[in-house]
Chains A and B, each alone.
Chain A
Amino acid sequence: MSAGESAGLQVEGLHYRLGERVLLDGVDLSVEPGESVAVTGPSGSGKSTLLMCVLGLVRPDRGAVRIGGQELTGLPSGRLAQVRRERLGTIFQFGELLPELTPVENVALPMLLGGGDHRAAYRRATELLSDLGVPHEGTPTGMLSGGERQRAAVARALITDPAVLLADEPTGALDPEAREAVADLLFAVSLEQGCALLLVTHDLSVAARAQRVLRLEAGVLTDALDGVGA
């Protein structure tokens, strides 16, 4: 597949070795806009490394990562950060919201950091929080429940209208009820917004909701259902 053919995420022949240990051994992966892919695997199998390669935080030994047709590998750090800002949205296990800010300010932060129009950022943040059912008027971020905080984190990831949404154990810190709600939301918004969703999780019940479930083991990515390469 060549650059520009897809607006989603393409990973080609990714190799990454840590000392003697091969973490990624020619990983190929493609996530189309609106498609959701879950990556599972045992601890230490390299799921987070794969995510870091996609984020550009770790430089692979070989291979390429493309987002919306734009090759990430080899980009200078400034340009890389710009691509991350404009095309990637990330959700972490613990939400990582600033308790001192209001939910609206937290969600608007990526746009503000990117130098976007602040009025538009606040407007969009309010819309997203309303859409995702997070109370945003009068409730400080510190008072939100775990599920609400994670939904606010999803809203924050979506505010830049990313082409690719990355989620690193997004339901790992939630109770079963909140986990269901956040998982529902995540898959629904990626479909609605037409962004490629790459989800890394231990939780097979959450992974099962993805359109495709892949398993990373011994550095190789295989289809979790039939063992066929991704």
Chain B
Amino acid sequence: MNTVAQRTRGTDFATAPAGRGGRLWGQLLRIGFAAGRGTPGDRLRFWALFAAAAAVAVVALGSVAAIATYDGREARDQARGPMLTDRRQDAVALWREAFDAVGEVQHSVIYVSPLKTDAPPPPGLPRWPAPGEAMLSPELVREGGKEQITSRYGRYAGTIGKSGLVSPSERLAYVRPAQTPDELRKSDAWQYAEGFGRAFPMGENLYGRPLGQVLLTLGVLTGLPAVSLLVIAARVGSRTRDRRSGLLQALGGGWRHRAVVNIGESALSIAAGTAVAILPMLAASATDLRIPPTGYLLNSDDLRAAWPMTLTALIVSFVVSLGAVVVLHRVERGGTATRPRSFASKVPRWRLYGCGAGLALVAVSQYFRGTPGLLAFAFGTVAMWALLPSVAAAASRVLGEKFAAQGFRAGRPGQLIGGRWTVAHPGVVVRLAVAMVIGLGLVCQLQVWNSRLGEKAAAARASEARVGDSLISVYNRDITPPAVRDLAGSLPTGAHLFSLNTNPEQPAPLLQGSCDALRALGLTCPAAPEAAKGGDRRLEEIRRWYGPELRIQATPSDPSLDKLYGQLLVIPEATGQRAPVERVAYAVVPAVNVETLGENWLTGASNKARLNNWILLFGSLGLALLLLAGTISAAAEFMRVRHVLAPLAVLTGSHSIYRSVALWNLTTPLLIATFITGAVSAWHSLFFIAVVQEGSFSWRVLAGAMTGCAALAVAVGLLGGRAAIRAARTWRPTAD
């Protein structure tokens, strides 16, 4: 006997017309609540709704966190921005911004020199740094340990407080040069600041993206999968709900009554899922939480300040999830199912042609130049990836027929049934394959895009591999002859100083240095410029970057420096000397640039890669949700058909039949989808690389991703089999 029917006894709609009195609604809610706990197969529905509600709430809270964080960032950015002025008499400090890098990550170095010592220091600083002192952000100290960052800009005088950083993970330095303000003012790079408190993009804010873009990325990459999970979860367990709805309808209940019962049935799981989603928010509000893989530290103060928005988002998320369950529960005229649909018989043929057309479009895109070629490639890619799951399903279908035939011939019931189910329900495979296909495709594309450094960055990477930090460039237009002298005098022992003039009006770049320095590169000591002849690897590197026609000249004293086209080159005696070179360079010339050759190209590429990490984060979250949705959908489908097999399995004691059927019905088609997608991903990525002639394809990444998908395929099969066995064990003949 239907347990719901038993529970609905006493709910007489004829005597209690719709809408009259609160008792009826309370009773309907109780019916729903009891149905949610008591009907078979509800565990899957409970957890599906729980996961979906949690996912929707996480996206909602993620948006809140983004908005709150951006609000906080803006406020702090505004508070620390210099209020620049041309009037010397109004100024409280000299201010200038410069850039440096730790590893390949760029950061701002703010030079300040107070003109009025009683003026308040920039936010986050407990006091003005003393001459020659530097205050660094905690993240810069943490990341720059290996590069001895605390001694790079002068004496380390402590960290910058949270109020002075747009995020706790910002890399920033405040430096007060040892020179007096009068000395500093000789350079026109310094500006007067009459205080702090005007928006002035600096530090991390230079590399961020607008809030709208973040919300859009979160919405598309994570929000949409969360909604699809919600839709699938809302339809899980429709068999029992159909019967209940039919009963309510027969008793004279309307859609409102059904809605109340559905609310009662799903409210607990949705409330639990929504409540669980607050845990990460609570954690992030209690302490600054680092978000992998971006490395970004959320400011807990910002999140705490946004608690009313958090609460509202939770309520909205709960209502949306609950509303979706009610709205998505249709009672069809025929009284049949609202269960997840599967294709009745065949995968529509146009999808296969569409995928083929997309593939062809990608292939011919190389013959079109400019925008048409790009459009062809983009359209082809979208069509191909969107329809690829259907190809995988069609292939699975064909193979399903073969499996079934083989199972029939060999008398293997699991293979026979699994094969036939694959033929009959390719939609199950399509739903799961969608997530896998998007996942594999995205992983490969991200890897390829990240590997596209650009020509210069690739050259810089190669240069780094060849000479490392045995060739260091020092440049700044404020480097004066006395500064060159000071620098030459304080370089680490054995280091040689050169000047390189790359003025294009010269016949060729000119490298100047003392005879000792030139000899250290295996060169002669010409008094007049002459072509450099020698094969020293550092010399080769200079030629690679500045031209093969490099000339050399010995200078009797310190090398002179062209203000516009000149730079100093330091060649230490051994590698690993970069930190001391930087230290002396910063001591001599504030805001100087100290780099290995082409390093700024690498920092640019690294900025791009770090932004991609956000796409990776939102994308992988979304993929996980899509995979979960696919798995739940497959499990629901599997649970639906288990009813038919249960009597035989129970009576013959052959529970392993479920495992075998799940293997052939779920695991095998998914493995096929994995291999097809892997092959297409590899082709697509290699094709892309060939067309743009840039980047590299990592077979290891593809192998890793495919292994992940294969493991998932096996896990889904095992879980499906296990769930069906557990459910079948409780089956009893209950025909009366």
A interface residues (Cβ-Cβ under 8 A, vs B): 43-44, 47-48, 51-52, 55, 57-58, 77-78, 80-82, 84-85, 88, 90, 92-94, 96-101, 105, 109-110, 112-114, 117-119, 121, 168-169, 172, 200, 202
Contacts and interface: CB of A to CB of B under 8 A. Distances in A.
B410 A118 contact: yes
Contacts of B651: 55, 81, 84-85, 88, 90, 110
Nearest to A52: B732
A90 B732 contact: no
Contacts of A44: 736
A100 B424 CA distance: 7
B469 to A, nearest CB: 68
Contacts of B647: 90, 92, 96
B10 interface: no
Contact of B653 (A43, A85, A93): A85
Contacts of A43: 1, 736
Contacts of B645: 98
Interface stretch (B28-36, B295-303, B412-420, B525-533): B412-420
A169 B735 contact: yes
Contacts of A110: 648, 651-652
Interface string B402-417: 0000001011110011
15 contacts: A55-B651, A55-B733, A84-B651, A90-B647, A92-B733, A96-B647, A98-B420, A101-B417, A109-B413, A113-B413, A113-B652, A114-B654, A118-B411, A119-B411, A121-B411
Interface in B386-429: 408, 410-413, 416-417, 420-421, 423-424
B314 to A, nearest CB: 43
B654 A81 contact: yes
Contacts of B653: 77-78, 80-82, 84-85
Given A78-B653, A81-B653, A101-B417, A47 B736 contact: yes
B530 to A, nearest CB: 87
B625 interface: no
Given A112-B413, A168-B735, A97 B644 contact: yes
A100 B420 contact: yes
A121 B412 CA distance: 12
B650 A57 contact: yes
B687 to A, nearest CB: 39
A43 to B, nearest CB: 6
Nearest to B655: A81
Contacts of B408: 105
A60 to B, nearest CB: 15
Given A96-B648, A113-B649, A169-B736, 8 more contacts: A51-B733, A58-B732, A93-B735, A97-B644, A98-B645, A100-B423, A101-B416, A110-B652
Contact of B736 (A55, A78, A200): A200
A47 B652 CA distance: 22
B493 interface: no
The 7 A-B pairs with the shortest beta carbon distances in the complex, nearest first, are A81-B653, A118-B411, A93-B735, A100-B420, A113-B654, A169-B735, A112-B413
Contact of A112 (B411, B424, B649, B650): B411
A57 B732 contact: yes
A100 B421 contact: yes
B657 interface: yes
Nearest to B423: A100
A111 to B, nearest CB: 8
A48 B733 contact: yes
Interface string B431-444: 00000000000000
Contacts of A55: 651, 733
A110 to B, nearest CB: 6
A48 B648 contact: no
Contact of A48 (B421, B423, B657, B734): B734
A96 B642 CA distance: 11
A137 B36 CA distance: 44
A170 B649 CA distance: 19
A44 B424 CA distance: 38
- Interface SS of chain B: helix, strand, loop or mixed? helix
B417 A48 contact: no
A31 B241 CA distance: 41
Interface in B700-736: 732-736
Contacts of A121: 411
Contact of A92 (B411, B424, B652, B735): B735
A83 B411 CA distance: 21
A110 B735 CA distance: 21
Contacts of A81: 651-654
Contacts of A90: 647, 651, 733
Given A101-B420, A118-B410, A121-B411, A113 B735 contact: no
A169 B420 CA distance: 29
Contact of B648 (A99, A105, A109, A119): A109
A186 B732 CA distance: 22
A48 B736 contact: yes
A47 B736 CA distance: 8
B411 A117 contact: yes
Interface in B605-660: 643-654, 657
A208 to B, nearest CB: 18
A110 B652 CA distance: 7
A209 to B, nearest CB: 19
A80 B605 CA distance: 69
A1 B411 CA distance: 41
A57 B413 CA distance: 23
B45 to A, nearest CB: 23
Most buried by A among B408, B417, B653, B732: B653
Nearest to B412: A112
Interface in B489-536: none
Nearest to A170: B735
Contacts of B736: 43-44, 47-48, 168-169, 200, 202
Contacts of A97: 644
A29 B410 CA distance: 42
Given A85-B653, A97-B644, A105 B416 contact: yes
Given A48-B733, A48-B734, A93-B735, A85 B416 contact: no
Interface in B296-318: none
Contacts of A114: 652, 654
Interface in B649-699: 649-654, 657
A52 B731 CA distance: 11
A125 B735 CA distance: 26
A17 B736 CA distance: 19
Contacts of B652: 81, 84-85, 110, 113-114
A78 B655 CA distance: 11
A222 B654 CA distance: 36
B417 A100 contact: yes
A24 B461 CA distance: 84
A119 to B, nearest CB: 8
A78 B416 CA distance: 24
Contacts of A48: 732-736
Nearest to B643: A96
A98 B644 CA distance: 6
A100 B665 CA distance: 13
A117 B652 CA distance: 16
A202 B736 CA distance: 8
B660 to A, nearest CB: 10
A104 to B, nearest CB: 9
Contact of A98 (B411, B417, B732, B734): B417
